[in-house]
Amino acid sequence: MFTVPALGYAYDALGENISAAIMQLHHDKHHQAYVDKLNAAIATHPELADKTVEELIGNLEAIPEDIRGAVRNHGGGHYNHSLFWKVMSPNGGGEPTGPLLDAIVAKYGSYQAFVDEFSAKALAVFGSGWAWLQPDLSIVTTANQDVPFMNGEPEPIIGLDVWEHAYYLDYKNKRDDYVKAFWNVVDWNFAAERYAQLAQ
């Protein structure tokens, strides 16, 4: 049975960037709902019980058709949020360092140019979805709870949730203010570890 991972920091640890109310609702209610519905789907096909969430959503064609949509939506939601909590930190913000920064500057010209492009793509997501930084440092977006590796791409380094439930209590309809605040909490140490692990 899948479970919601602990945050690793207090609900209010991200301060005014993302409130305790948002974090508690997002983690305890929204993420829990994805896990509950994923578990319910998998329970109907015991042969899938030993699969990781990455194995499930990374090979959707192998999932029985009657639960494929549920696994895609709720498995994706579980994977995405499990990563998202790690992408943010009370000690986040600033800029990356080392090889990750060097690679970002080589690709985009400057760290700020990268932030501007990522933010623009996050703001351009129509409806609900995610913006992702890939191991080749390309920036891609997906709809709903889809993940890049559902389409044969690698696992992402970091992702930004732009569903309204991620920010509406704090920012109402101002997604741009939420995206701006996100850069104050990005855990670049975690991102650097992911980059070292995933970049080829």
Q: What is the identity of the amino acid at 14?
A: L
> Are the C-beta atoms of 34 and 74 separated by less than 8 Å?
yes
Question: What is the DSSP secondary structure assignment for residue 136, as one 8-state letter?
Answer: T
Q: What percent of the chain has a predicted confidence (pLDDT) above 90?
A: 98
pLDDT in tens, 119-169: 999 999 999 999 999 999 999 999 999 999 998 899 999 999 999 999 999
Residue type, position 130, single letter: W
Check whether 52 has a pLDDT greater than 80.
yes
Paired tokens of 71:
């696994």
Q: Measured at the alpha carbon of residue 123, what is the angle toward residues 15 and 138, in degrees to the nearest 5? A: 100
HSE (side-chain half, CA atoms, 13 Å) at 197: 11
Q: What pLDDT was estimated at residue 151?
A: 86
Strand stretches in the chain, DSSP E = 129-133, 139-143, 158-161
Q: Does 3.40.1110.10 match the CATH number of domain 98-198?
A: no
Give 37's pLDDT tier (boundaries 50, 70, 90).
Answer: very high
* CATH code for the part of the protein at 20-87: 1.10.287.990
Q: Which residues contact 143 (CB under 8 A, 6 or more apart)?
A: 125, 126, 127, 128, 129
**Per-residue model confidence (pLDDT) at position 127:** 96
Q: Which band of pLDDT confidence, cut at 50, 70 and 90, is reported for residue 200?
A: low
Q: Provide the residue type at 189 as one letter.
A: N
Q: Residue 200: exposed, middle, or buried by beta-carbon count in 10 A (0-12, 13-18, 19+)?
A: exposed
DSSP state of 7: -
Strand, coil or helix: 139: strand
Q: In the chain, where does the domain assigned CATH 1.10.287.990 lie?
A: 20-87
Share of the chain above pLDDT 70, in %: 100
Kindly report, residue by residue over 161-191, the tens digit of the pLDDT: 999 999 999 999 999 999 999 999 999 999 9
The alpha carbon of residue 126 and the mean position of all alpha carbons in its chain are separated, in whole angstroms, by: 17
Q: Which residues of the chain does CATH 3.55.40.20 include?
A: 98-198
Q: What's the predicted TM-score (pTM) here? A: 0.97
The position carrying tokens 């939601």 is 77
